[in-house]
């Protein structure tokens, strides 16, 4: 039960941080979404030790574990655009599949390079 409370508090903390970064992006009229700014700032705060991983670890793990649920509203909402899908559906499908493949390939390449680098340093 204690872990639930910690997780809820950490998710709330991450949500507040996200909302603050969104407001910052709007206030400064930045062309970058607040969520991206928030990820960069949170990464810097974690790397510098200002924010400790244990402060957000449980909440972040839960959010990552339930990530698929956050895409369901978007998937259902696309039904409002049936005329566009009927007209451009194949092009959209091609772009989605191509971008998915590119992201997977790039992720694999980066992971392989990181693994080789770690192997050289530890071996």
Whole-number average pLDDT of the chain: 90
Tokens representing 70 are 């956050």
pLDDT per position as a tens digit, 56-113 = 999 999 998 888 887 777 777 887 888 888 899 899 999 999 999 999 999 999 999 9
Q: What is the pLDDT of residue 95?
A: 95
Q: What is the pLDDT of residue 1?
A: 66
Instruction: List the domain boundaries for the chain.
Output: 1-65, 79-123
Measured distance CA(122)–CA(116) in Å, rounded: 10
Q: What is the pLDDT of residue 73?
A: 75
pLDDT per position as a tens digit, 14-32 = 999 999 999 999 999 999 9
Do residues 24 and 38 make contact, with C-beta atoms less than 8 angstroms apart? no
Q: What is the pLDDT of residue 56?
A: 92
pLDDT band at 3 (very low <50, low <70, confident <90, very high): confident
pLDDT band at 123 (very low <50, low <70, confident <90, very high): low
Q: What is the pLDDT of residue 67?
A: 83
């Amino acid at each position: 039960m204690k872990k639930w409370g910690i997780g809820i508090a950490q998710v709330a903390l991450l949500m507040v941080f996200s909302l603050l970064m969104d407001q910052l992006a709007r206030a400064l009229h930045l062309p970058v979404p607040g969520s991206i700014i928030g990820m960069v700032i949170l990464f810097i705060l974690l790397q510098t030790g200002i924010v400790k991983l244990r402060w957000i670890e449980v909440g972040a793990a839960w959010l990552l574990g339930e990530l698929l649920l956050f895409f369901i509203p978007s998937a259902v909402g696309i039904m409002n655009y049936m005329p566009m899908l009927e007209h451009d559906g194949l092009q959209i499908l091609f772009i989605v599949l191509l971008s998915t493949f590119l992201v997977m390939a790039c992720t694999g390449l980066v992971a392989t390079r990181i693994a080789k680098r770690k192997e050289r340093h530890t071996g």
